[in-house]
Amino acid sequence: MVLVDLSTGTLVAEPDEPATVLEPSADHETLVSAAGGNAGPIAVLFPSFADGRGFSLARMLRDRLGFTGEIRAVGSLIPDQSQFLLRSGFDTAEIADPGAAETWKKTLTIIGRSYQPSARNPLPLRWNASAKAAAELDRALAATDDLVERIKLIAERIEGRIAFSTSVGLEDQVILQAIAKSGVAKSGAEIDVFTLDTGRLFPEVLETIELSELRYRTRIRLVAPDAREVEELVSRDGVYGFRQSVENRKSCCEVRKVRPLNRALQGAQGWIAGLRREQSQARADVPLAEWDAERGLIKINPIADWSDKRLNDYIDANNVVVNPLHAQGFVSIGCAPCTRAIEPGEDPRAGRWWWEAEDKKECGLHVAESERSAVPVAHREKAA
């Protein structure tokens, strides 16, 4: 048997014998007696891996009885318990195999953040996205003109999963190329790249996804809508019912795009999107970073301030993978039945839902819930 120091992962030379060995069933009087004796280390027995009562005993010794001496874990232990033992108040752990000490040391560093306070916090508490952090990031992004540097800033400032929802349009392809070039994923940043597979994508979109994965060596996850919800939607409104009214179309977007997006964003701390101010009047004031209170994350638009010229110049200079539909007059590309090519001089989003009025045509992905609620409740509930 050897003893591992849980604060460093190193072996303890010439450890003291424990003054007391506590069974997991020890009552309050036994704990008081052990803590008051102060004659040496207190050992807490773990009779099996599944028995977690020892963690509670260590917490009571530290928090309730104020014991400051060494608490040692003995018995059936595995390396994965190292950080939890340390956070519960243990100082050392007795292991049978000296060769396993290196594994114990590695497990002490594999987790970077704690989710809640403990008897001992060797790690900082988990970083949480906030409105203040969003405002600070917005200013930091505005201070640099280089897209790759902006991606690095995003990865540095946001801890945890960063979701990148891509439509593989021009803006998103530029961002994907910059993410790959920045190397942030290789440096440990958790960038989750996904696209919404509505079931009605152009074949060219799927081909562009495959080419992008090969070029940038990045998996692009396909996020599909709930099959039952789609069946109920089509049963109610018809295959092309979204052309019958704005309400029907918004219900279709809600089921095929908005709800899958919200599921994909759950648990993310940041959300990267390809919005630009020049795309439409409704997006004229899009910030580089903002707080999304409804989803509880920071939404980042790293090229919000780019002009059309700068976007195209970047694509040409970096040989960015481009959807072939763009060369055929498709500027803003959504689902195939809802997208057409535009004529020279038309608004970039004129090809989306062209049978509707031009004012604020949005699918709901980048619209607050309070604004999407303009869809009649009946439509929203029936689609649920």
Phi then psi for residue 11, to 5 deg, are -80, 145
For 247, the token pair is: 């309400």
What single-letter amino acid sits at 81? Answer: Q
Averaged pLDDT, 161-174: 96
Angle of helix 170-182 versus helix 147-157 axis, rounded to 10: 70
pLDDT of 72 over the 90 cut = yes
Judged against a pLDDT cut of 90, whether residue 282 lies above it is answered with no
- Cβ pair 51, 24 in contact under 8 A: yes
What's the rounded mean pLDDT across residues 94-111?
87
Edge-to-edge strand ranges of the sheet holding 42-46? 2-5, 92-95, 71-75, 42-46, 20-22
Contact 249, 379 (CB under 8 A): no
Q: Average pLDDT of 63-85?
A: 93
Phi-psi region of 364 (alpha: psi -120 to 50; beta: other; left: phi over 0): left
pLDDT at 378: 41
**Tokens encoding 19:** 């003054």
- Mean predicted confidence (pLDDT) in 142-158: 96
**What's phi and psi for 282, nearest 5 deg?**
-65, -20
- Confidence (pTM): 0.66
Residue 222 banded pLDDT, cuts 50, 70, 90: very high
Cα separation of 271 and 162, whole Å? 6
> In which band, very low, low, confident or very high, does the pLDDT at 150 lie, cut at 50, 70 and 90?
very high
Question: Best-predicted range by mean pLDDT among 17-21, 98-102, 119-123, 270-274?
Answer: 270-274
pLDDT(127) > 60:
yes
Banded model confidence at residue 112, pLDDT cuts 50, 70, 90: low
What mean pLDDT, rounded, does the chain reach?
89
Closest CA to 139 of 287, 336, 303, 331: 287
Question: Per-residue pLDDT averaged across 254-267, rounded?
Answer: 95
DSSP assignment of 167-215 equals --SHHHHHHHHHHHHHTTTTTT-EEEEEEE--S---HHHHHHHHHHHHH
Q: To the nearest 5 percent, what fractions of the chain are helix, strand and coil?
A: 40, 15, 45
Q: Is 363 a catalytic residue?
A: yes
State how far the Cα of 77 lies from the Cα of 96, in Å rounded to an integer: 9
Whether 372 shows a pLDDT value over 80: the answer reads: no
Say how far apart CA 41 and CA 18 lie, in whole Å: 5
pLDDT band with cut points at 50, 70 and 90 for residue 38: low
Helix (H, G, I), strand (E, B) or coil at 339: strand
